[in-house]
Amino acid sequence: MARGRGRARGTKINPRNRYHSQWTETVRDRGWGEKEGSSSPVSMELQVERSRNILSRNDSPDVPFDRSVNPYRGCEHGCVYCYARPGHAWLDLSPGLDFETRLFCRPDAPWLLRRELAQPGYRPAPLALGSFTDAYQPVEREQRITRRLLELLSACRHPVCLVTKSALVERDIDLLAEMASQGLARCAISVTTLEKSLSKRMEPRAAAPARRLKTIQRLSSAGVPVTVLLAPVIPALNDHELERILTAAREAGATSARMVLLRLPMEVGGLFENWLREHYPGRAGRVMELVRELHDGRLNDSRPGMRMTGTGPYAEMLGQRFNLWKRRLGFQEPPKLRVDGFRKEWLQAEDPQLTLPGF
C-alpha cells in the first residue's frame, strides 16, 4: 500500500542506521532537466507485520504502566525529535525518512491480545495503547486496528490509557466515554507548542496545536480524564511556552499534567541537529548546548529516573516552573484505573469474536 505523495515530512534525509556496513545515496547533478532543489515525491508504504505476541512488558520507573500494545511501527506524523526513530534500525531501515514513510501495521493485534489476556496467569493492570508510536496516526483511519483493540478491552473491561497527538482519537469517544464511566480509561494529549509555524515544521502531520486543545475539550466534555503531556520540552525552542501550554490545556479541560524533557537517543541526535540548522540556524548551537547540559554532557541519558527529567540547573529550573504552574492551575494526579471488573471468563469463551464488533 502506498499513498501520500509530495506532502510535508519531518526530515528530508535518510541517513544509514547504526547497523549498516554498506548503504547507497542518491546524487542529483544539475543539468538534466531538473529544477535546482527539486526532488521526487515520497510515497508512504504500509506493510503487514505478523507477530507471535503483541503485549510488551517494561519495568521502567519513568512511565506509569508496565504493559503496552503498539498497533504500528514507524509513524507518519514525522516528528523530528521522536525517540522511537532508532527502532527502524532493527528493521534494517533508516531512522530518518524511512521511519515516517515505511510503516508496518499489525492487523491481527486484537486477536493476539485476546489470546494473551485470556491466559490463566494473566493479571490485569492499565495497558498503554501506542506507547512507542502513535496509535492514532493517519493510517489508523483506514486500518482501524486501534478501534478494534479498544472494542476488545471494553468488552472484557480491561483498563487502558492512551497517549496521542491526533484528533482522530475523537472518533472513539463513544468507547472511551463508556469505559471512563466505569473507571477503565484515561487519555494523554501531547501538546508540544502553541505556535503553529513551529508545530508545522517539527511535527508536520500531527494535528495543529489549536486542534489538539479542541480534542482535550471534547474528550473532557465526554467524561474522559485527560492529561496534557508537554513532551518534549526543548530548551531555547519551546520551553518559553511552558506556562501558556499548561494554562490553555487547563482551560480546555485537562485535569492532570506531565512534562518530558527532550532526549536524543542514537540516530535522533544527528537528525534533530540537521533539522535545527535548516529551520533555526541562528539558535541551533545554543539548543544543542543546552540539550547536552540537561543530560550530563550527552544528548541522551538512558539511566532510569534521569532520561525524561534531565539533570543540572537548567533541568531544575524547568521542573520548578512546571510544578509551580501545575499547583497554581489546580492540576491533580490522573485517576487510578479499576482492575476489579476484568472479565477473563468472556475472553475464555469458545468464540468471543461473535460478540466483538470488527472481528
Mean pLDDT, residues 80-98? 88
Mean pLDDT, residues 20-30? 45
How many C-beta neighbours within 10 Å does residue 355 have? 10
Grid cell listed for 300: 541522551
Residues 86, 264: contact at Cβ < 8 Å?
A: no
Nearest to 235 by CA among 277, 301, 295: 295
Burial string for 284-318 (b: 16+ CB within 10 Å, else e) reads beebbebbbbbbeeebbbeeeebbbbbbeebbeeb
Residues 51, 105: contact at Cβ < 8 Å?
A: no
CA atoms of 96 and 22, how far apart (whole Å): 16
pLDDT range class, residue 354, cuts 50, 70, 90: very low
CA atoms of 134 and 347, how far apart (whole Å): 26
> For residue 345, what is the enclosing H or E element?
helix 344-347
Grid cell listed for 238: 519551546
| Residues near 323 by beta carbon (within 8 Å), at least 6 away in sequence | none
Grid cell listed for 160: 487502558
What domains are there in the chain, each with its CATH number? Answer: 44-333 (3.80.30.30)
CA 292 to chain centre: 23
pLDDT of residue 1: 56
The answer on pLDDT for 254 being more than 60 is yes
pLDDT range class, residue 32, cuts 50, 70, 90: very low
Nearest to 134 by CA among 158, 167, 111, 108: 167
> For residue 186, what is the enclosing H or E element?
strand 185-190
CA atoms of 187 and 295, how far apart (whole Å): 29
CA atoms of 239 and 143, how far apart (whole Å): 36
pLDDT range class, residue 59, cuts 50, 70, 90: confident
CA 184 to chain centre: 21
Nearest to 235 by CA among 313, 301, 166: 313
Mean pLDDT, rounded, of the chain: 87
pLDDT in tens, 310-343: 899 999 999 999 999 999 999 999 999 999 999 9
pLDDT of residue 33: 41
pLDDT of residue 36: 41
pLDDT in tens, 188-221: 999 999 999 999 999 999 999 999 999 999 999 9
Sign of CA pseudo-dihedral 161, 259, 73, 280: positive
pLDDT of residue 231: 94
pLDDT of residue 44: 85
Mean pLDDT, residues 155-161? 97
pLDDT of residue 60: 80
